[in-house]
Chains A and B, each alone.
Chain A
Amino acid sequence: MSGIVIIGNGISGISAAIKSRELTDQQITVISSESKYFFSRTALMYVFMGQMKFEHIKPYEDSFWKQQNIDLVFDKVNKIDPEHSTILTDRGEKITYDQLVIATGSSPRKGKWKGETLKGIFNLYTMSDVNKLHEASHSCDKMVVVGGGLIGIEVCEMFASRGIEVHFLVREPFFMSGTLTTPECEVLERHIRNKGISIHKNETVISFQGDQKGNLKSLQTESGNSFETSLAVVSIGVNPNISFLDGSGIDMNHGILVNEYLETNIRGIYSAGDCTELRSPVNGRRAIEPVWYTGKLMGNIVALNIAGTPTIYNPGVWYNSAKFFDVEYQTYGFVPPINDINHDYFYWEDPQRPRSFNVYYDNSSEVVKGFNFLGIRGDHKKCEIAIREKYTLSEVMESLDSFLFDPEFSKSIPEKILKFYNNLKLINS
């Protein structure tokens, strides 16, 4: 084998493969030890909830890969030998490459707690995690979610959909308070409580207790509280999957270090996605960004670079999205959770429904820095243009309609926001 070899069939690796096929006739091989076919990890929660089956979360039909002439190998890579451009797999295969893309992703972070290996403590990352959670859910009527991030809230929704009592342990003073402003956190908290979830804030786990058989019985927190449960799901972040590269000569820190072309210190070896650490991130972005959108763009950029179109990785205006039960969340640009003296928020909240709109702007020039949407859909392209081209708050308000992406017959939302904005201006003047 030669040509382009990609380790990992998540969104980053698959994006690199599909884009490469568009650009070259080289042989393309994708190796994965998790599943033969690419599936959308973000959709695993819906399989657990019976909203879709596994077959529905495969974005391409199984026949697609043959049509595209992309070889899929279901095997685990143990070692990379850059000197001979070879990788070694679990099954003892030696695969040579011309260019190598490492897109091995990440795995759930461990808390280094006492009792963390007890039976009944799970993560949500792989399809096999979902199967395990499915089995375990049959014999439980109460469970605990540890970690107040985007995965944690998905786990809450998953178990609530089965009528199981959910206790949600959040380390911060509010769920999402590291990302959202306090009024936004309060909108979410009310909504999550309405969905029957018990949120326990300012709670940090210190240990897990089991019975004689090694089954989880309870967990203890720093504040001295104890939660009786036989099932806990831990979601406190992820770490890059890079340990198999030890001794390969590839530079690593927390992740695989890459330059602005996403190339490692070894020519012809690239990295994309969760396992990647940028040597010099731009635009205030993080060096490691374990986010779907980042992985997708990185995979595409790697393909361009392999195909001989040198393209730097510059993700542009930050954006991300999530869903908290019924409340969709979108963010564009920069909206910090806490204000500084030079900036202000224009914040509108619907008193009747869980939705809010937040614009962060420079208070002297009125130039907009970012948008947060909760329960309202924002227009990606428009928000990005506004931030890049330094729209002022009043410019945004003048064409507010075009910033929203809500379905037809939702005219009342921009009307309410504008009314609020005009009243505010009247008071201030």
Chain B
Amino acid sequence: MSVNSNIKQLYNYVSLIGILVVLCPLFISIAISTQLLVFGIGIIFLSVVLQSLDDFKTSATGVHYENTFFKGITNRKLSAWLLGISLTTFYIFVYWFPDLLEPLVKAVDPFSYYLRGIPADQWFLYGTFYTSAVLIMGTKALIKYRSVAYHVRRTLSVMFFQFILAWLIPAFLIKLNQPEFYFSYFWPLKYDYLFPGTINYLTSQPGALGTFMIFWGASLTFVGTPVLTYFFGKRWYCSWVCGCGGLAETAGDSFRHLSSSSTSSWKLERFIIYPTLAFIVIVTATLWVNSISNGKILGDFSNGASSTYGFLIGSLFSGVIGVGFYPLLGTRVWCRFGCPMAAILGIQQKYFSRFRITTNGSQCISCGNCTTYCEMGIDVKSYAQQGQNIVRASCVGCGICATVCPRGVLKLENKSDHDRLNNPLQPTSAGWKMN
């Protein structure tokens, strides 16, 4: 047993060394920073894969969550705080002190030249780290969840969208002298995609691609999104396509149980997410009013509002708090409390969608696993124990509740919406009446 736990410790140390190797150009000037970066990421990948194969060697027949609350890193102990502080610091550097990251930016220069034909900046560095995290931790998720087809497909999907649509294609577009464009992000998450400035810039581009991008972004926002959400629920985006969701489902998977499921946090969620949506809708509208009226009506107000949104929501909320606080507040802080896209999809999911989580008769034993492992902090069990289907705006359809349930009570479904909202179980003189 002790040999075994020593090996487990060894994996952690190797990963840590990998991180230090990647970061060492920050502290000492070194000529081979690119090689160190590749080597560092390589050994992190190797140690994560080997560790996962060892940790989840018994997962061929089921997914395991035991010991989650015994490990410091997943139970808000010192190591979790250190990780949270490090992530937060990195985000602060990326957004506001990019000069401090210059040695690392230099390290990814060769990739940037190869893919984009221009030197790297802190955003390319950030994108590279982000994509590496999704791919490495996605591999871990594939090993952990290999017994459940739904999770395997969902994980492959987010890895694909992050790697191809959110990293490779935008880079190639730059190389081809085209606008950098992310085909997997839409307004209002990518809020500037419907700003007049972006539209004007894209239309001014030579060739038809810019026009296609406007068409793509607008049609996905106004047509694709509602149609897909009607048939599949918001999960088609939030846990299959979106990069924020992609990071949460891969790198954040070990922290999903840290989301608070209290009723007060649910109140807070509704208190923040809908005003955020209103905020970006107003910002977008005022920008258009301003653009159409050539600034005569609103003056500088709309630009001020848009940069305030960019700072408060775009940077501070979605980045610093959203990801930096993974080990303390759970993985979906941004998606749950802030994302305006999630807000819209959620409203539709609640009132105009086929998606729901069906409860299996009166099989629930109120154990609490579903609620504990819900990354959105939904008290799933409060519905399941009454035999009620779960129809909630915030549900991203990750499907973990159905997996962690020891009695097979929950099932994600998008059958026709007949019976979607059912009544609670009623006791009768012939047993439970299941409605």
A residues near B (Cβ < 8 Å) are: 11, 19, 40, 42-43, 46, 49-53, 56-59, 61, 141, 161, 163, 191, 195, 292-293, 296-297, 300-301, 303-304, 311-317, 319, 321, 323, 325-328, 330, 353-354, 375, 377-381, 384, 405-410
Contact = CB atoms under 8 A, between A and B. Distances in A.
Nearest to A296: B362
Interface of B: 1, 4, 58, 61-62, 65-71, 147-150, 153, 262-263, 360-363, 365-369, 371-372, 381-382, 385, 399, 402-403, 406-408, 411-413, 427-432, 434
Contact of A408 (B62, B361, B362, B412): B412
A300 B427 CA distance: 6
A353 B59 CA distance: 12
Contacts of B4: 163
Nearest to B425: A300
Contacts of A163: 1, 4
A-B CB proximity, top 5 nearest: A380-B361, A316-B431, A326-B62, A377-B408, A300-B427
Contacts, number: 148
A327 B61 contact: yes
A50 B362 contact: no
B431 A315 contact: yes
13 contacts: A43-B367, A46-B367, A50-B69, A51-B68, A297-B362, A311-B429, A314-B429, A327-B61, A375-B61, A377-B408, A379-B360, A408-B150, A409-B150
A314 B408 contact: no
Contact of A56 (B66, B361, B372): B372
A316 B65 contact: no
Contact of A40 (B1, B150, B365): B365
A11 B361 CA distance: 17
Contacts of A297: 362, 427, 431-432
Contacts of A313: 429
A381 B407 contact: no
A405 B367 CA distance: 19
Contact of A311 (B68, B368, B411, B427): B427
Given A49-B66, A56-B371, A407-B412, A195 B58 contact: yes
Contacts of A49: 66-67
B367 A380 contact: no
Contacts of A410: 149
A58 B402 CA distance: 19
* Interface-central residue, B362, B382, B399, B408, by most chain A CB under 10 Å: B408
B407 A323 contact: yes
B147 to A, nearest CB: 8
Contacts of A375: 61
B61 A328 contact: no
Contacts of B367: 40, 42-43, 46, 52, 57
A309 to B, nearest CB: 10
Nearest to A318: B431
B365 A292 contact: yes
